[in-house]
Amino acid sequence: MFRLTLVAGAAAIAAFAFAVPGYAADAKQMEENKKTVRALYEAALNKKDFAEASKYLGSKYTQHNPVAADGPEGLKGFIEFLKAKFPNNKSEIKRIFADGDYVIVHVHAVREPGTRGNAIIDIFRLENGKVVEHWDVVQPIPEKAANTNGMF
């Protein structure tokens, strides 16, 4: 009976592990991915330091933002543009999410201090802990709104 109970116990553990395949590893990786995206955002948009930002990129960086060129070189060009035109740009992550290989950030970006700025949601895809693809949607925050809740 002890042996039977042991076998049943082992089966229960196996069943639980099967029900949540790689969960502990996944959850840890998703937290790491959030940290990586935060670090990339800070380096690229606030410090405007491509050398630091590039540490968080994989061997490719597929760009879907229609005003940015593809690849790591496109990010480099965008950072140079920011440094030249909007050296005081400040991007603040308001909320961050992760699901599988993706990290999503909701951001308030102010290019010129004192202006309303843009609401942005970015989606990043990671492979092996490095950022390899980026989509975003950008909208200027309007002066007036039909509700009093704000865009964040």
Task: Using CB under 8 A, pick the residue from 73, 83, 112, 137 that binds a copy of itself.
Answer: 137
Q: Does 51 engage in binding with a copy of itself (CB under 8 A)? A: no
Distance, CA of 66 to CA of 119 (rounded, Å): 16
- The CB-of-73 to a copy of itself minimum distance in angstroms stands at 11
Which letter, b or e, does each residue of 105-134 get, where b requires 16 or more Cβ atoms within 10 Å of its Cβ?
bbbbbbeeeeeebbbbbbbbbbeeebbbbb
Q: Does 13 engage in binding with a copy of itself (CB under 8 A)? A: yes
Amino acid at position 79, single letter = I
60-119 residues near a copy of itself, rule: CB under 8 A: 62-70, 74, 95, 97-100, 102, 104, 106, 119
Q: List Cα–Cα distances, 127 to 25, 58, 59, 106, in angstroms.
A: 14, 7, 10, 21
Residues listed for the chain: 152
Residues that bind a copy of itself (CB under 8 A): 2-3, 5-6, 9-10, 12-13, 16-17, 19-20, 23-24, 27, 62-70, 74, 95, 97-100, 102, 104, 106, 119-121, 123, 135-139, 141-142, 144-152
